[in-house]
Amino acid sequence: MAKPVRAWQRMLSGRRLDLLDPTPVDIEVEDIAHGLAFVARWNGQTMGDFPYSVAEHSLLVEEIFGRMHPDAPVKWRLAALLHDAPEYVIGDMISPVKAAVGPNYGALDERLTAAIHIRFGLPAQIPVSVKKQIKKADKISAWLEATQIAGFSEAESNRFFGRPRGDVIAGLHIHLRPPVQVREEFTRRHAELLTRL
């Protein structure tokens, strides 16, 4: 008889997160912040002395979302910050890899997202209109990352991600930081948004 495959991961908080059936009680923001601070975007193919982490990206997306929708409820700012939170356990895959893996990756991501949202007081599934707004902020972040640290020309970035409005990206410059600093900033921003809910 085949030995059952382990589908849970032990977190630094001591929680055991079941990837096939994640529950909100097994999710801690410290685990998310730590994991995301050590997951590199762009498969690590970025300039600088530190990898550009998913935590850093998440902070940027939340800032861009806030610039685009200054009157949005705080809960949607929190959703923007947490938009890639499942990657603290499943990692960041570039779009071509996600396409190659197929629909199972999307289903896993959706289960984790629902548990994370419920844990922090958000609806399991956010409205499609809000999801689209966050996705737009995500694409603007990708444009900035591509042109500033991933070696893309502006023309390439415009083709892949669309040219963002100047007022939305004004003054936004990517500064790579050690993971411990990004982890602390992510945790701080998360706490700040939670207190405003």
- pLDDT, tens digit only, all 197 positions of the chain: 777 777 899 999 999 999 889 999 999 999 999 999 999 999 999 999 999 999 999 999 999 999 999 999 999 999 999 999 999 998 887 677 777 777 778 888 999 999 999 999 999 999 999 999 999 999 999 999 999 999 999 999 999 999 999 999 999 999 899 999 999 999 999 999 999 99
Are the C-beta atoms of 64 and 44 separated by less than 8 Å? no
8 A C-beta contact, residue 36 and residue 186: yes
Residue 67 dihedral angles phi and psi, to the nearest 5°? -65, -40
Query: Looking at the domain assignment, is residue 150 inside a domain?
Result: yes
CA angle 85, 86, 89 (to 5 degrees): 115
Residue 100 lies in a domain: yes
Based on the structure, what is the number of domains in the chain? 1
* 14 assigned to some structural domain: no
The Cα–Cα gap between 86 and 100 comes to: 19
Specify the pTM: 0.94
d(CA 164, CA 106) in angstroms, rounded, equals: 27
Q: What is the DSSP string of 14-38?
A: S-EEESSS--GGG--HHHHHHHHHT
Beta bridge partners of 10: 16
In a domain? residue 12: no
Residue 10 lies in a domain: no
Residue 128: which domain range?
Answer: 25-195
d(CA 122, CA 90): 21
CA 111 to chain centre: 15
What's the pLDDT score for residue 149? 98
CATH number at residue 161: 1.10.3210.10
pLDDT of residue 104: 78
Position 151 in a domain: yes
Is the residue at 29 inside a domain? yes
Rounded distance between C-alpha atoms, residue 46 and residue 126, angstroms: 31
Let me know if residue 164 belongs to a domain: yes
